[in-house]
């Protein structure tokens, strides 16, 4: 067993900030779910922008805390790496929203159910990893959670092959095909961001075991 919270003592403020970051990623995913359900209803990126701005503030708070904390139990580069990796998630998901609002007509009738389910699963798994890291968890459980993120990423890769096969079939007009290709690639990048964050958390846990 390891307990990073016990190691950190009073410096558990970093865990508070990391969990704030995880909450912002959840907000981004929820905003995307709402947008995909009715792409014509939402005419702005305000929900996405709000989540990203909050995440940027949290990232800045982590940087400030590092400056004002003389000694940290976690390596500073690990704290910075995790903060940067978490920040990229809502930023990437916002880009998905941007694409949809550029041409919502191309999204109509398209099934994003499995993509969204994977994003939600990845978000939930990431939040669980951060909570487990705070309270202390056995390494096998942390490895299992990280493996789940890799499984989600692998499943999405397989889904992308199905998507590409359909896009290359010629059933879509060229402009719509190009648009959907860009959109699905951004969704894939979003899944990859969650996997990357999981890898950093797992690395930190291993170093402090």
Q: In angstroms, rounded to a whole number, what is the distance separating the alpha carbons of residues 198 and 137?
A: 15
Please say whether the beta carbons of 72 and 19 come within 8 A. Answer: no
Express each pLDDT in 124-146 by its tens digit: 999 999 988 887 667 888 999 99
Please say whether the beta carbons of 196 and 137 come within 8 A. Answer: no
Q: What percent of the chain has pLDDT over 90?
A: 47
Q: Is 3 helix (H, G, I), strand (E, B) or coil?
A: coil
Express each pLDDT in 58-88 by its tens digit: 888 888 877 776 666 677 888 889 999 999 9
Q: What percent of the chain has pLDDT over 70?
A: 88
Q: How confident is the model at residue 1 (pLDDT cuts 50, 70, 90)?
A: very low
Please say whether the beta carbons of 143 and 49 come within 8 A. Answer: no
Q: How confident is the model at residue 2 (pLDDT cuts 50, 70, 90)?
A: very low
Express each pLDDT in 17-34 by its tens digit: 899 899 999 999 999 988
Tokens of 202: 């797992």
Q: How confident is the model at residue 7 (pLDDT cuts 50, 70, 90)?
A: very low
Q: What is the mean pLDDT of residues 180-209?
A: 92
What are the chain's domains? 4-207 (1.20.58.220)
Q: How confident is the model at residue 120 (pLDDT cuts 50, 70, 90)?
A: very high
Q: Tokens 């970093």 belong to which residue?
A: 14
Q: How confident is the model at residue 119 (pLDDT cuts 50, 70, 90)?
A: very high
**Is residue 89 pLDDT above 80, yes or no?**
yes
Please say whether the beta carbons of 153 and 188 come within 8 A. Answer: no
Please say whether the beta carbons of 190 and 117 come within 8 A. Answer: no
Tokens of 83: 């903060």
């Amino acid at each position: 067993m390891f307990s990073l919270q016990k190691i950190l003592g009073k410096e558990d403020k970093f865990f508070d900030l990391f969990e704030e970051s995880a909450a912002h990623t959840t907000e981004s995913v929820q905003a995307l779910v709402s947008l995909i359900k009715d792409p014509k209803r939402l005419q702005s990126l305000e929900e996405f922008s709000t989540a990203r701005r909050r995440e940027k503030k949290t990232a800045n708070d982590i940087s400030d805390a590092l400056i004002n904390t003389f000694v940290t139990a976690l390596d500073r580069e690990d704290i910075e790496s995790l903060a940067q990796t978490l920040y990229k998630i809502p930023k990437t998901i916002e880009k998905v929203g941007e694409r949809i609002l550029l041409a919502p007509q191309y999204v109509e009738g398209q099934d994003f159910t499995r993509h969204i389910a994977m994003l939600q699963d990845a978000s939930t798994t990431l939040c669980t990893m951060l909570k487990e890291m705070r309270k202390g968890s056995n390494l096998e459980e942390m490895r299992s959670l990280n493996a789940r993120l890799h499984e989600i990423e692998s499943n999405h890769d397989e889904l992308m092959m199905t998507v590409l096969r359909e896009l290359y079939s010629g059933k879509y007009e060229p402009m719509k095909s190009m648009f959907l290709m860009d959109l699905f690639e951004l969704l894939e990048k979003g899944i990859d961001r969650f996997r990357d964050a999981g890898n950093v958390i797992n690395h930190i846990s291993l170093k402090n075991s």
